[in-house]
Amino acid sequence: MVGLRKLRKRFGITAPRVAVRTEVPWYLRWLGIAGMLAFAAALAFWMYDAGRRFAGFDRDQVEQKLTETQAELDSARSELQRLRAIANAAGSQLAIERTAQERLAQQIRTLEQQDGKLREDLAIFERMLTSDPSSVPALAIYRFEVTPDVLPGEFRYRMLLLTSGPRRDREFDGRLELVVSMTEDGKSAIMKFPERTDVSASAFRLTFKYFRRVEGTFRVGPKAKVESVQVRVYEGKTDQARATQTVNLG
């Protein structure tokens, strides 16, 4: 009897309920979980985007505006480069024109100086033609000038030599000499050009007929102060000067 009761309790109406469940593979479970997570993320993104739109922020509009702004920036950069190129070309052209104007102005000044010298020469010639031949020296020095040059201690001299009288038809053959009076280191000194060892002594040789323009340079110590310069013109090999003239600089 006891065994029968045990069987009824196990297999009868009062027996415990048994649930039959289907075993799900693990990868399907993980796939389902991944799907749920993806759905949740998409839902969250949609809710975030909807919230921004509701608050007045549209991502598509912002991206479109950003694209338009980038295009405008690229266009502005291109225009800036074009304007810079035009400005550089204009600056170069302006520099060329300015240089040309400076050169033209320098040429005009040079021509004006030459015109002034020619007028002075013409006045001298006219005065010689209209003056008494007996009162005109056989050799004369006109417009003797001495001016500082570019380098310290360097000077440039200019003069006009004229022959007149009975000897005008003969060629003058001689030389000139410069006597420079100066002070250097508190002491007075005299220098003569050309010096005996001067290799450019040939530049002081004179051979001309009627007239001769003479121009050249001489150099003293950079700290020397030139007070006066005397030019002496000699004829032939004599040591007696035929004409002299002095210009004071001190």
* pLDDT at site 8: 57
Which residue, chain included where needed, has tokens 């993806």?
38
Report pLDDT for 3: 55
Segment 113-121 shows an average pLDDT of 74
Q: Report how far residue 210's alpha carbon sits from residue 164's, in angstroms, rounded to the nearest whole number.
A: 7
pLDDT band at residue 27 under the 50/70/90 scheme: low
The pLDDT, as a whole number, for residue 198 is: 62
Query: What CATH class is the domain 133-248?
Result: mainly beta
CA angle 195, 200, 204 (to 5 degrees): 80
Band (pLDDT 50/70/90 cuts) for residue 218 is: very high
With a pLDDT cut of 70, the percent of the chain lying above it is 71
Residue 182: count of CB within 10 angstroms of its CB: 20
Tell me if the pTM is above 0.85: no
Largest CA distance in the chain: 188
The answer to which of 3-17, 137-151, 155-169 has the lowest mean pLDDT is 3-17
Contact 246, 232 (CB under 8 A): no
Q: Report how far apart, in Å, the C-alpha atoms of 44 and of each of 33, 48, 74, 213 are.
A: 16, 6, 37, 104
The number of C-alpha atoms within 13 Å of 231 and in the hemisphere containing its C-beta is: 25
**Strongest mean pLDDT among 31-35, 112-116, 211-215, 225-229:** 225-229
The answer, yes or no, to whether residue 91 has pLDDT greater than 80, is no
Instruction: Tell which residue, 139, 88, 112, has the closest CA to residue 243.
Output: 139
Structure token digits, residue 45: 């993104």
| Predicted pLDDT at 80 | 82
Residues in the chain: 250
Question: Where is pLDDT greater, at 52 or 245?
Answer: 245
Question: Greater confidence, 87 or 185?
Answer: 185
In the prediction, which pLDDT does 26 show?
64
- Report the chain's mean pLDDT, rounded to a whole number: 78
Once rounded to an integer, what is the mean pLDDT over residues 103-124?
A: 77
Higher pLDDT: 84 or 133? It is 84
Q: What is residue 189's predicted lDDT score, i.e. its pLDDT?
A: 93
The whole-number average pLDDT for the span 202-212 is: 85
Regarding predicted confidence, which is higher, 88 or 26?
A: 88
| The pLDDT of residue 57 is above 90 | no
Phi, psi angles (nearest 5°) of residue 16: -65, 145
Q: Look at residues 246, 205, 248 and name the one whose alpha carbon lies nearest to residue 227.
A: 248
Q: What's the confidence (pLDDT) of residue 183?
A: 94
pLDDT of residue 227: 95
Domain ranges of the chain: 64-130, 133-248
pLDDT band at 202 (very low <50, low <70, confident <90, very high): confident
